Amino acid sequence: MKCGGGRFSEKSTDLLTKINSSIDIDKRLAFEDILGSKAHVEMLAKMDIITKKTKAKILRGLKKIEKEIIGGDFNFNDSLEDIHMNIEARLAEIIGSEAGRIHTARSRNDQVVTDLRLWMRKAIIDIEVELSKLMISLLEKSEKSIGIISPGYTHLQVAQPVRFSHHLLAYLEMFGRDIERFKQAKERLNECPLGAAALAGTSFPIDRFDTAKTLGFRAPMRNSIDAVSDRDFVLEFISASAIAMVHFSRLAEELILWASIEFDFISLPDSLVTGSSIMPQKKNPDAAELIRAKTGRVNGALLSLLTVMKGLPLAYAKDMQEDKESVFDVFDTLILVIKITKELIEKMKVNEINMYNAASNGFSTATDLADWFVRELGMPFREAHSLTGKIVGVASRKNIKLSEFSLNDLKKIEPKISEKVFKILSPENSIESRNSYGGTASREIRRQIRFWKRRLNA
């Protein structure tokens, strides 16, 4: 059956069928499509637009179709273009010409976008669930790692020692915001386009509030032209996914660095690494690399759909059919990435000694020394900064750590330095002194852990 067939005297060329068909992709909307149709048909009967008998017949047919799809017995057909036409055509086979009444006061334009909003609402809930599970794993790892001292970096140069928990908790904050973005996108998309019909609404006395309610939408969309022609909700979904993927990619990049022999901060279990076909010693962090790489396809999907939308005059245009492939791919990618990141976090083994050594290298407590000059000797910070720089320079030439200076040598640089200075030069002391809100001292880390426990329990 060619859609709009009555008007045409020729059948489509094979190439038109090929470019026009979306069934391979949008069959994933089958259940949402049936759900939308049920709500629509119930409403049509309530409003006396179709008879109760017709309604019952259609519902029976839809139920059968649903069963066929679940059982894998449904024959999806390319020449029927998309999921909407496939289901309607099958309905006609099952119940006869009464099936045609299902499309009263409806167009595929409002139908497809209703289906996609329904699908996305559920997809976002799945993402929230998986993200929450990952966050619980991260939280548990953070709690276990509170005693581990690690180097904090800026410019990938050792900057100041931090608790490893602190570093992990930073990702918890990022994922927390990701969940918020998805929740807000879900809130905004939860309005019902059904009944907008092709673009202008319909002359049948439909009740759009009824179908919106049945389908669990907050309200029907106010403007029928907007309802069928915008895909900003899809763009928001992919944007939120792209931002999340950037977070995952940065974490993956860190895991890759940490697992290298040069860092050797973590080791990954054999079950999460792959080998090389030529180098027998290799243990490659492919999972993390692929997380990093898959960010490319999600970012690509965002650019792809922004580009599809940017020049479309209102209202519907077939260009928008291209949205679904991206959406499904982004969703599948994100779910996979969240799940495997969780495994990586849970199963990585932290090499505490190497982390600690790195944290005490690179003059990581130089800021503490400068702060000590300010606090104990009343120096302005700029002066203290430059004096500390001088001391670091000497240490670097002597190839010693700050804590390895003799008091005498320090006094040669600054006579007012006293024995007390050595207390602040260890990573432990440095960390515990940083007790400002959000800082790396254990009191502050515990506060953050308590916050996330409460948040993730709720």
Q: Could you give the 3-state DSSP secondary structure of residue 159?
A: strand
Nearer to ligand ARG, 29 or 149 (CB): 29
Give the interface segment with ligand ARG, choosing from 250-258, 318-326, 339-347, 350-358 (CB under 6 A): 318-326
User: Which of 94-103's residues contact partners 24+ apart within 8 Å by CB, and which partners?
Assistant: 94/61, 94/64, 94/65, 95/57, 95/58, 95/60, 95/61, 98/54, 98/57, 98/58, 99/58, 99/61, 101/44, 101/50, 101/54, 101/58, 102/37, 102/40, 102/41, 102/58
Helix, strand, coil abundance in the chain, percent, nearest 5: 70, 5, 25
What's the rounded Cα separation, in Å, for the pair 358 and 164? 12
As measured in angstroms, the least distance from the Cβ of 85 to ligand ARG is 8
Nearer to ligand ARG, 108 or 167 (CB): 108
What's the rounded Cα separation, in Å, for the pair 149 and 357? 9
Whether 125 and 445 have beta carbons less than 8 Å apart is answered as no
- Contact call for residue 109 and ligand ARG (CB under 6 A): yes
What's the rounded Cα separation, in Å, for the pair 239 and 355? 35
Residue from the set 54, 202, 249, 321 that interacts with ligand ARG by CB under 6 A:
321
- Contact call for residue 108 and ligand ARG (CB under 6 A): yes
Nearer to ligand ARG, 143 or 325 (CB): 325
What's the rounded Cα separation, in Å, for the pair 49 and 45? 6
As measured in angstroms, the least distance from the Cβ of 324 to ligand ARG is 6
Site for ligand ARG in 67-86 (CB under 6 A): 82
103 is catalytic: no
- Contact call for residue 38 and ligand ARG (CB under 6 A): no
As measured in angstroms, the least distance from the Cβ of 322 to ligand ARG is 8
For the chain, the first-to-last Cα distance in angstroms comes to 52
Kindly name the residue from 9, 97, 155, 436 that is annotated as catalytic. Answer: 155
If residue 150 lies in a helix (H) or strand (E), which one and from where to where?
Answer: strand 149-154
As measured in angstroms, the least distance from the Cβ of 13 to ligand ARG is 17
Nearer to ligand ARG, 101 or 231 (CB): 231
Structure-token match 């000590």, residue found: 372
155 is catalytic: yes
- Contact call for residue 331 and ligand ARG (CB under 6 A): no
As measured in angstroms, the least distance from the Cβ of 21 to ligand ARG is 9
**Binding footprint of ligand ARG on the chain (CB under 6 A):** 22, 26, 82, 108-109, 112, 316, 318, 320-321
**Active-site amino acid positions:** 155, 276
